[in-house]
Amino acid sequence: MLILPAIDLYDGCAVRLLKGDYNNMTVYSREPSDIAKRFETAGAEYIHMVDLEGARDGTTPNIEAVKRIVKSTDLKVEIGGGVRTEEIIERYLDIGVSRVILGTAAVTDEKLLEGAVKRYGASVAVGADIKDGYIAIKGWLEKSEITCDEFFERLQSLGVATVICTDISKDGAMQGTNRELYRRLSEKYGMDIIASGGVSSLEDIRVLKEMKLYGAILGKAYYTGAVDLKEAIEVAK
């Protein structure tokens, strides 16, 4: 199982939000590429990034910070947040990003999703942000009318390869991951599922690995020192 350490971007900085709240933000570094280099030294292969301003506004204001990470490390980069057009997908792929994550657009614009999967294949992933059993959109600010299972069935039928699945209620709360949700999804669907939100111990990683998930994102637990990245990568192997 892959461990994907995370960097959330806001105003060029590496930050974390608590439960998706833009008013509850901690700044960890003003130079995200320094953190990315530490990830690489610890043995990470992939890095998960979210442009928080993009997620809210549908733009790419932090693309220069992403570019610096692509250029200064050998990490494979996946990024989401504000990816709502093919032009933005291409903008990220052109600077060397490995995988671009459609979030809100995958819910609201099925034509874009279908076209992107056909054109870019596994270079396009989908973020499924789950709030009370429904898919949340626009930087978690709105809840859609689509249930988690309806959404996953749609993605599988379109040929989506990878889904980054976040339980918003667990994100950044350091209270453990939603094991039942990930177990059920991994048993029911054939896509590569990356667990995100609430991974707060090596035990969480062991359990997710046993479920044969494709990956797990390590965010706040890394930044607070609760989980050592190198150990997490070893446990996940």
Q: Does 8 participate in catalysis according to the annotation?
A: yes
**What is the identity of the amino acid at 47?**
I
- The pLDDT confidence band at residue 174, using thresholds 50, 70 and 90, is low
Sign of the CA dihedral with 35 first, then 196, 113, and 52 last: negative
Nearest Cα to Cα of residue 78 among 90, 66, 86: 66
Strand 21-29 and strand 13-18: pairing?
antiparallel
Q: What is the model's pLDDT at position 216?
A: 97
Tens digits of residue pLDDT in 206-224: 999 999 999 999 998 999 9
The mean pLDDT of 183-202, rounded to a whole number, is 92
141 neighbors 56 (Cβ within 8 angstroms): yes
Looking at residue 126, its pLDDT comes to: 97
Q: Report the chain's mean pLDDT, rounded to a whole number.
A: 92
Q: Which domains does the chain have, with CATH numbers?
A: 2-236 (3.20.20.70)
Candidates 129, 167, 171, 204; catalytic one: 129
Look up the pTM and report it: 0.91
**Rounded Cα–Cα distance for residues 144 and 212 (Å):** 29
Look up 171 and say whether it is catalytic. Answer: no
Q: Is the pLDDT of residue 171 over 60?
A: no
Q: Which residues pair with 192 in a beta bridge?
A: 162
CA trace torsion 27, 31, 32, 36 (10° rounding): -130
Over range 108-116, report the average pLDDT: 95
| Identity of residue 55 | A
Reported confidence tier of residue 57, pLDDT bands at 50, 70, 90: confident
Residue range 112-128: mean pLDDT, rounded:
97
Q: Please report the pLDDT score of residue 104 as a whole number.
A: 84
Between strands 46-51 and 76-80, the pairing is parallel
